Structure 1
Amino acid sequence: METPGGGSRCLITILGPTASGKTALAARLAARLDAEIISADSRQVYRGMTIGTGKDLDDYVVDGKKIPYHLIDICEPGTKYNLFEYQRDFLNVYEDIQRRGVQAILCGGTGLYIEAVLKGYRLSPVPPNPSLRAELEGKSLEELTAMLKDLKAKTGTKMHNTTDVDSCQRAVRAIEIETYNLHTPTEERFCPPVKSLIIGVDIDREARRAKISHRLRERLEQGMAEEIRGLLDRGIPAEDLVYYGLEYKYVTEYVVGKTSREEMYRGLEIAIHQFAKRQMTWFRGMERRGLHIHWIDAALPMEKKVETIIKLYRNG
């Protein structure tokens, strides 16, 4: 086993926008270091949602070697996994990996999840608020977004930006959480920040757009619509799939007949491009909030990227 440093094993974090190649890079690095990968993706936690969330599980096999991964396929579709649960699950997995003396690599594109565990956000589980939900029912996404913006100004939170709040259901849940936090002091619980070398995969805007469009066509050909039909056939309500946003929002609306295939494709392609741009905005915000990210050009050869990360690690 190749150890990148002489002391205790500091976490390595690899982040980047969708289609930047971060998972393949994390897997190749893990193969070199006999490491395990912890996913930081808010939708890959759901079983049966594989094509639409881009799990790309083949990436976790490098030269015939299976790379252990965590926090993928851990809950049922239709449920509402949240940041509190992710932070709890991450800590459980990370502490176990540390106890076994294995290198851990955190990899994903959900900036809020990454920032929460690296900075040690103090969070509490937020129960449903039926009366508030009834009050918000029927409001447009624009109205809900305005309400959320006002609440965030009062709580001073950095959570719930437009990266993840792209449907009425998600906006209502965000308002529910911010309302709870406004009136309920967060429980003091020990949740230490995690020291990490943070690597950002920097992909050229035009290259990113080309890869996003290519991947979207590929996933539709692989059966993304059929995957969603299968979830609907299992009894998962369409509105619960729409809640997950992006592919599940647009393709579900197409499958149930609300939009044409052409409208679905055009709208989804634009939405994913916008999502990738917002991811980069979040990562730049992380830097302003004190997290140092070492950016690596996505166009570099894979081995060059791996060697660069190992060198950064060894240099502390």
Structure 2
Amino acid sequence: MNQKMITIIGPTASGKTSLAAHLAAALISKGTAAEILSGDSRQVYRGMDIGTGKDLDDYNVSLPGTNTMVSVPYHLIDIAEPGTKYNLFRYQQDFQTAYDEILSRGALPILCGGTGLYIEAVLKGYALSPVPQNEALRAELEGKSLEELTVMLDELKAKNGTSMHNTTDVDTAQRAIRAIEIEKYNLDNPQPQRLLPQHDSLVVGVSIDREVRREKISYRLRQRLDGGMVDEIRKLIDQGVKAEDLIYYGLEYKYVTEFVIGKLSFDEMFRTLEIAIHQFAKRQMTWFRGMERRGTRIHWIDVGMPIETKIDTILKLYEQYGG
């Protein structure tokens, strides 16, 4: 049996990364080495820092009851070049490699993120085959709206009987076309499902009230814009990353890029992006509820609890879980 892992999930702006880092520090103070595995589909890209909310300073925390700082090791961040199309298949392989390395050091893996598809895929051990690009299909779909593509994707998912490609991440036409490409390939090329090892894990979710979440999202968006997110995207474009590739990533990179290239005014960008992030957080919660329906036990803790109480609660749950 695999060593038990701790998984911390939650919607954007719920503070899950900071919680995971403080939990790791608490474990380290008790003599248990701990390392964090990111479960975020956008933080894999180098140079895409502000828009993806990497907040790498969150991994530098003080040991409980001391002034001693510790840098908690993290993995699966900054492992792909901006402009490339990282995917679930690659994530599963990269996750397993990092996971095995953590265990080889005798450390406890803590998986933390908000990309429900990535999280569920590694917990359940689902493995996919790499799907080649279908240029004819892409040409056929070019010019269709996201709404039209979403209808097509839903029909393919129904035929395949799959819960893959939830709208959590399929938020641009390019991403929807890639999802259709994958579903079409799997429909035309049925094959026995291959399994990677399942990962025995305590799963903890950070619960946050909708209005509080909305306030945090809006505040954080203003912080990111004031903190240089526009300049970050201009720099990526200056380095040769195509605007359409940045738009592919959705959310901040879609709307801020459209502002940078003159497609949107600043006010239009802010307003539409703010709405898009609120909708994204709602879809994240929909995915997590779906995970529960599909058999994953999630222990929910309130975002408003003091950090020490959150950590004590998780450690008690982990002890009861058999960790």
Q: Is the 8 A contact 1:123 1:187 kept in 2?
A: no
For the residue of structure 2 that corresponds to 1:315, the secondary structure is helix
What residue identity is the alignment partner of 1:100?
A: R
Rounded Cα–Cα distance in structure 1 between residues aligned with 2:275 and 2:303: 22
Q: Which amino acid aligns with 2:14?
A: S
CA distance in 2, matches of 1:47, 1:211: 25
Give distance in 2, aligned partners of 1:307 and 1:149: 42
Equivalence for 2:44: 45
2:47 alignment partner, SS class = coil
In the alignment of these two chains, the number of paired residues is 310
Match of 1:246 in 2: 251
Instruction: Give the counterpart of 1:209 among 209, 214, 227.
Output: 214
Q: 1:151 is matched with which residue: 156, 168, 176?
A: 156
Q: Which residue of 2 aligns with 1:138?
A: 143
The aligned residue for residue 35 of structure 1 is 34
How far apart, CA to CA, are the structure 1 residues paired with 2:79 and 2:108? 22
Alignment of 1:73-222 (within 5 A): 73-186=78-191, 189-222=194-227
CA separation of 1:224 and 1:186: change in aligned 2, threshold 3 A: farther
Query: Alpha-carbon deviation of 1:315?
Result: 1.0
- Assess if the C-alpha contact under 8 Å between 1:11 and 1:196 holds in 2: yes
Task: Determine if contact 1:22/1:107 at 8 Å carries over to the other structure.
Answer: yes
> Which stretches in structure 1 are left out of the alignment for 5+ residues?
1-6
Instruction: Name the residue aligned to 1:4.
Output: none
CA contact (8 A) 2:126 2:195 kept: no
CA RMSD, Structure 1 to Structure 2 (Å): 1.2
Q: Deviations over 1:20-79 (max 9, x none)?
A: 010000000011123100000000000000000000001000022101000000010000
Deviation at 1:281, TM superposition (A): 0.6
Which AA in structure 1 matches 2:88?
L
Distance 1:45 1:281, change over 3 A: same
8 Å CA contact retained: 1:97, 1:104: yes
Give the ranges of 4+ consecutive aligned residues of structure 1 lying more than 3 Å apart after TM superposition: 186-190
Aligned-residue identity in percent = 70
Of 15, 19, 35, the match for 1:25:
19
- Residue pair 1:124, 1:187 contacting (<8 A) in 2 also: no
Corresponding position of 2:53: 54
Match of 2:73 among 57, 68, 71: 68
The answer for unaligned runs of 5 or more in structure 2 is 28-32, 63-68
CA distance in 2, matches of 1:188, 1:205: 37
CA distance in 2, matches of 1:234, 1:122: 34
Q: Please say if residues 170 and 179 of structure 2, whose CA atoms lie closer than 8 Å, have aligned partners that are also in contact.
A: yes
SS at the partner of 2:127?
coil
Asked if 1 retains the 8 angstrom alpha-carbon contact of 2:20 and 2:112, the reply is yes
| Aligned counterparts of 1:164 and 1:220: Cα–Cα separation in 2 | 22
> What whole-Å deviation, never above 9, does each CA across 1:10-29 have from its counterpart, x for those lacking one?
10000000000100000000
Please tell me whether residue 234 in structure 1 is matched to residue 233 in structure 2: no
- Report deviation, 1:159: 0.8
Q: Distance in 2 between matches of 1:288 and 1:189?
A: 22
**Cα contact 2:39–2:118 (8 A) shared by 1:** yes
Match of 1:12 in 2: 6
| Rounded Cα–Cα distance in structure 2 between residues aligned with 1:188 and 1:298 | 37
More displaced, 187-196 or 261-270? 187-196
Q: 1-side partners of 2:70 and 2:80: how far apart?
A: 26
- Normalised to the residue count of structure 1, the TM-score between the two structures is 0.96
- Give the distance between the partners of 2:256 and 2:195, measured in 1 at CA: 41
CA distance in 2, matches of 1:174, 1:69: 29
Is the contact made by 1:122 and 1:187 (CA closer than 8 Å) also made in structure 2? no
State the distance in 2 between where 1:208 and 1:92 align: 34
Could you tell me how far apart the structure 2 residues matched to 1:197 and 1:44 are? Answer: 23
Write the distance in 2 (CA, Å) between the matches of 1:13 and 1:186. 30
CA distance in 1, matches of 2:197, 2:3: 16
The amino acid across from 1:113 in the alignment is Y
